[in-house]
Chain A
Amino acid sequence: MQTKRTIFSNKGLPYLLLAPQLAITIVFFIWPAAQAVKSSFEREDPFGLRTSFVWFQNYTRLFTDPNYLNSFGRTLIFAVSVTFLAMAIALLLAAAVNRLIRSSNVYTTLLVWPYAVAPVVAGILWWFMFNPSIGILPYALGQFGITWNHRTSGTDAMILVIIAATWKQISYNFLFFLAGMQSIPNSLTEAAAIDGAGPFKRFWTIVFPLLSPTTFFLMIININYAMFDTFGIIDGTTSGGPNQATNILVYKVYDDGFLGLNIGSSAAQSVILMLIVIALVFVQFRFIERRVQY
């Protein structure tokens, strides 16, 4: 492969050209991250007057704090549910749209809309629909004798945030699955049809295996999304309640740091989150990009 190479006569020019991007990265990403790491080893007194270096105390406390461990469990339930549902529903929709010949563009456009909705707006949208006093869905569920109240029931609240977060992510997954399916030559499914495989069998034995690179890629993206990108949705719907039921890790960072003003603990939590992201990205590059092929 040929690489494009430009020769600069002035040695300083390339650095100068990179400077704005580097400045932004340093000021808005590296610097705060370094600050977070630093703060995670410190403790501030309640008035913010004195800080003392406490080594790993913030971390050891976290892992003995039942609230934090509970939040870990909640995050796991939330992330696994959102990832699974968002991918399964998207796959189903993509398979359906892929079968259409004529109106597939219309459906694609419609199905991609939710992605353009800001997370907080999506959160508020679902908050409205599920609002126990004025929402349409609790009313409808009430007709079937099901009482819905995510303000008091932790389970209801969890279901609500899962639905809201899933709804928003389906579009993204859908696009990738659809593109993946459209890149599979028709003749493969035709050959399978002649080979005696019905539509379901064709899907599971031909199409789905051939989509595996897309599926693994989306899995990492979705876990990332569910764990780190859902702050707005939680904030717009349940604010982590009731009674910590939907207080997932990323929300707890904010909850403890900005509302609870426990900067040291909050910083330690964000460092842990950072490590998780790094691990996920590592998994993606190291294993998936290489192994998943046919």
Chain B
Amino acid sequence: MARIEISGVSKVYPGNVEAIKDLSLSINDGELVVLVGPSGCGKSTLLRMIAGLETITGGTISIGETVVNKLEPAERDIAMVFQNYALYPHMSVRGNLEYGLKNRGTQRAEIDKRVADAARILEIEAFLDRKPRQLSGGQRQRVAMGRAIVRQPKAFLFDEPLSNLDAKLRAHMRVEIRRLQRALGTTSVYVTHDQLEAMTLADKLVVMNGGVIEQVGKPLDVYSDPQSLFVAAFMGSPGMNLIDIESLRAIGADLPGSIPTATGTVGVRPEDIVLEKPAGPHLTIAATLDAVELVGSESLVYANAKGIEKDIILRSSGIHRGNPGDVLALHIPHSALHSFARESGRKVAAA
């Protein structure tokens, strides 16, 4: 168990590919940090640098009190769960769990105890003598987890560990991982591009884009208070509606007086747009219905407003009954507006 301190780290791959740019991040003892971001933003690269599978081009990474830049993966005392599980196909499940302990010269009795404990916790006792190919995807995933926990490492590193499972099993394993991580209290870094995983697992959510961190914070804070256009659009599915302020002014929308002058774009979450006139101050946009997506418990309504380029999406609970071409009045409470600066795309605070 340990803190992980990443300071000023960069990574340049051969061929001058700059995957990580001057990135700093502190991960507290026992914390579960989730890295999210679009494909190719450098999540895996960062994780693999912590693991010691990629060299660090610049900056330092320390685990506990030790700078690990020059240490071999084995010396860093971390465990990693790979996306394809990377179980040793020629060894039994027991062999897989024991391998790391044997390599470290752990006593036989201790090995047996730890393997038995891990097998019990993960409910894989019945398959200890099977080969990985004789297991289902979910069981393999458990073995991969088992291989990480028997080692009792300083930190767990997960690289999209659930992405090969079906939706139901994924939801189940997500809860298991959360429970296990809480119970063991081991510092963890978890890479995913599944929003739901990110939101539900994280103590601390890190949104990355193009090799830099866009925002760090508690999942709900990141969601409800995005600090940049990128985070606003990336978090949530669908993401925040982003509307050019000039087009709003052009259609005479009733913008709040307090809106900062630097604002170039305003944003509003799909669930904050309502169809019934709210009590408080709000602005209203006239639009025509384009399409409705029924998700089951809720509906996503796509509406087109004159003078606004992109469709505005709103979320309404239950089933929205409407047909394309219907005229809608979209009401947006002033309190639900987010303002982003014209040039930088950063959030601007209300004046």
User: Which A residues are closer than 8 A to B by beta carbons?
Assistant: 101-102, 185, 187-188, 190-198, 201, 205-206, 209-210, 294
Q: Decide: B131 and A191 in contact? CB cutoff 8 A.
A: no
Cross-interface CB contact of B100 among A185, A190, A196, A209, cutoff 8 Å: A196
CB closest residue in chain A, given B99 = A195
Q: Decide: A188 and B104 in contact? CB cutoff 8 A.
A: no
* Number of interchain pairs (Cβ within 8 Å): 60
Chain B contacts of A294 at CB under 8 A?
Answer: 89-90, 131
CB closest residue in chain A, given B74 = A196
Task: Tell me, in angstroms, the Cα distance from A110 to B343 when the chains sit together.
Answer: 56
Chain B contacts of A191 at CB under 8 A?
Answer: 80, 82, 86, 88, 147
Chain B contacts of A198 at CB under 8 A?
Answer: 74
Interface string of B84-120 (1 = CB under 8 A from A): 1010111000000001100110000000000000000
CB closest residue in chain A, given B133 = A294
Cross-interface CB contact of B74 among A101, A102, A193, A210, cutoff 8 Å: A193
User: Which B residues are closer than 8 A to A by beta carbons?
Assistant: 14, 51-53, 72-74, 78-80, 82, 84, 86, 88-90, 99-100, 103-104, 131, 147, 151
Cross-interface CB contact of A192 among B78, B88, B104, cutoff 8 Å: B88
Cross-interface CB contact of B80 among A194, A197, A209, cutoff 8 Å: A194
Q: A194-B51, A194-B73, A210-B90 are in contact. List 13 more A-B contacts (CB 8 A).
A: A190-B86, A191-B82, A192-B99, A194-B74, A195-B74, A195-B99, A195-B100, A195-B103, A196-B104, A197-B103, A201-B103, A210-B89, A294-B89
Q: Decide: A187 and B82 in contact? CB cutoff 8 A.
A: yes
Chain A contacts of B80 at CB under 8 A?
Answer: 190-191, 194
Task: Tell me, in angstroms, the Cα distance from A100 to B234 when the chains sit together.
Answer: 39
Q: Decide: A190 and B73 in contact? CB cutoff 8 A.
A: yes
CB closest residue in chain A, given B90 = A294
Report the minimal beta-carbon distance from B349 to chain A, rounded to whole angstroms: 44
Q: Decide: B86 and A187 in contact? CB cutoff 8 A.
A: yes
Report the minimal beta-carbon distance from A246 to chain B, rounded to whole angstroms: 40
Can you list 21 A-B contacts (CB < 8 A)? A187-B82, A187-B86, A188-B88, A188-B89, A190-B53, A191-B147, A193-B73, A194-B52, A194-B74, A194-B100, A195-B74, A195-B99, A195-B147, A195-B151, A196-B74, A196-B103, A201-B103, A206-B88, A210-B90, A294-B89, A294-B90
Task: Tell me, in angstroms, the Cα distance from A191 to B78 when the chains sit together.
Answer: 11
Task: Tell me, in angstroms, the Cα distance from A196 to B99 when the chains sit together.
Answer: 9
Task: Tell me, in angstroms, the Cα distance from A187 to B82 when the chains sit together.
Answer: 7
Task: Tell me, in angstroms, the Cα distance from A190 to B86 when the chains sit together.
Answer: 9
Report the minimal beta-carbon distance from B121 to chain A, rounded to whole angstroms: 19
Task: Tell me, in angstroms, the Cα distance from A164 to B104 when the chains sit together.
Answer: 44
Task: Tell me, in angstroms, the Cα distance from A192 to B95 when the chains sit together.
Answer: 12
Task: Tell me, in angstroms, the Cα distance from A192 to B104 when the chains sit together.
Answer: 12
Chain A contacts of B73 at CB under 8 A?
Answer: 190, 193-194
CB closest residue in chain B, given A202 = B103
Chain B contacts of A201 at CB under 8 A?
Answer: 103
CB closest residue in chain B, given A193 = B73
Q: Decide: A197 and B88 in contact? CB cutoff 8 A.
A: no
- Contact flag A185-B84 (CB < 8 Å), given A201-B103, A294-B90: yes
Task: Tell me, in angstroms, the Cα distance from A206 to B89 when the chains sit together.
Answer: 9
Report the minimal beta-carbon distance from A182 to chain B, rounded to whole angstroms: 16
CB closest residue in chain A, given B105 = A196
The 7 closest A-B pairs by CB, nearest first: A195-B100, A294-B90, A196-B103, A187-B86, A196-B74, A191-B86, A194-B73
Report the minimal beta-carbon distance from B129 to chain A, rounded to whole angstroms: 15
Chain B contacts of A193 at CB under 8 A?
Answer: 52-53, 72-74
Report the minimal beta-carbon distance from A199 to chain B, rounded to whole angstroms: 10
Chain B contacts of A102 at CB under 8 A?
Answer: 14
Chain A contacts of B78 at CB under 8 A?
Answer: 194
Report the minimal beta-carbon distance from A141 to chain B, rounded to whole angstroms: 42
Task: Tell me, in angstroms, the Cα distance from A205 to B131 when the chains sit together.
Answer: 16
Report the minimal beta-carbon distance from B92 to chain A, rounded to whole angstroms: 11
Task: Tell me, in angstroms, the Cα distance from A163 to B147 when the chains sit together.
Answer: 46
Chain A contacts of B53 at CB under 8 A?
Answer: 190, 193-194
